[in-house]
Amino acid sequence: MNAIVKSMIANLHAKADEASELVDEVLYGMTVEIMEDIDENWARIQTGYRYEGYCQKAKLIVDKTKTDTWRQEANHFINQSFADVLQQPRIQSAKMITLVKGSIICSITIDKLDPEWAAVQLVSGETGYVRRQWLQEQIPENSLTEQQIRENVVQTALSYLAAPYRWGGKSPLGIDCSGLCSMAYMLNGVYIYRDAKIVEGFPIKEISLGNIQKGDLIYFPGHIALYIGELLYVHSSLGGNEVNINSLDEQHQHYRKDLANSVTAVGSLFK
């Protein structure tokens, strides 16, 4: 059975228990597959990027037809850290819901409105309004060059700078290391593995450190960072308590010796 996330963020837990470990966050408008119906409150789900965990049913719209339609028609995502969906196209209007960066939404009549506003359809079927500049169309596969993808992935990762660290988090409210890297790629049309390791069947392949380029991934024991060029990398650091930039260059003021000396692998989307 298929479902759509209807809350701002749906927590994905290691067990069917609110007190269990948060392993991921699934954002508004993302579609999931229900793998197992646990009880009246919980289901084991698999996300569109093939990550599994336990989610509260109250966060979902469980309907195959609606989900299939949404997958076809929901063609934009929120590119602002936070965005209010309003009842009318004016800033004084009442809020319907607040969405975070990466939330998926269905944009309608986007070419017919005031340049400041776009009409959007929520998963409930209701129509609301969002500032047009806060919407970005989903990127079709194979529509960009390698260098464009690399640069876009870096800029997307940098847009989360100073977001607080949250284990299992994947939004500007709080994000962990693999959440940052996976969102940087997801918002550019590529699904990589959500955790800090290279996994067979996903598009990241191991390369040598000497061949690293912008947008490639650096792996450490239990940690992952995104290379941004000039021996710098951006990551959500538990030690730094937020998304920040560090260096592999021991002469740099932001050098992290503990990480520079513990690189286990480098991964790339490209050969």
DSSP label of 210: G
> pTM for this one?
0.95
Tell me the residue range of the domain where 108 lies: 76-137
End-of-domain residue from the set 105, 120, 137: 137
Same domain, yes or no, for 162 and 262? yes
- In angstroms, the Cα distances linking 152 to 133, 148, 190 are 17, 6, 12
- pLDDT tens track, the chain, 271 positions: 899 999 999 999 999 999 999 999 999 999 999 999 999 999 999 999 999 999 999 999 999 999 999 999 999 999 999 999 999 999 999 999 999 999 999 988 765 657 899 999 999 999 999 999 999 998 876 788 999 999 999 999 999 999 999 999 999 999 999 999 999 999 999 999 999 999 999 999 999 999 999 999 999 999 999 999 999 999 998 777 899 999 999 999 999 999 999 999 999 999 7
Structure token pair of residue 30: 């993302």
End-of-domain residue from the set 92, 116, 137: 137
Decide: helix, strand or coil at residue 201.
coil
Same domain, yes or no, for 164 and 243? yes
Task: State the catalytic residues.
Answer: 177, 223, 235
78/85 Cα distance (integer angstroms):
11
- In angstroms, the Cα distances linking 170 to 14, 48, 173 are 16, 15, 8
- Taking only the tens place, the pLDDT of each residue in 104-132 is 999 887 656 578 999 999 999 999 999 99
Domain total in the chain: 3
- We report the CATH number of the domain holding residue 21 as 2.30.30.40
Same domain, yes or no, for 169 and 256? yes
Question: Beta strand pairing status for 174-175 and 232-237?
Answer: unpaired
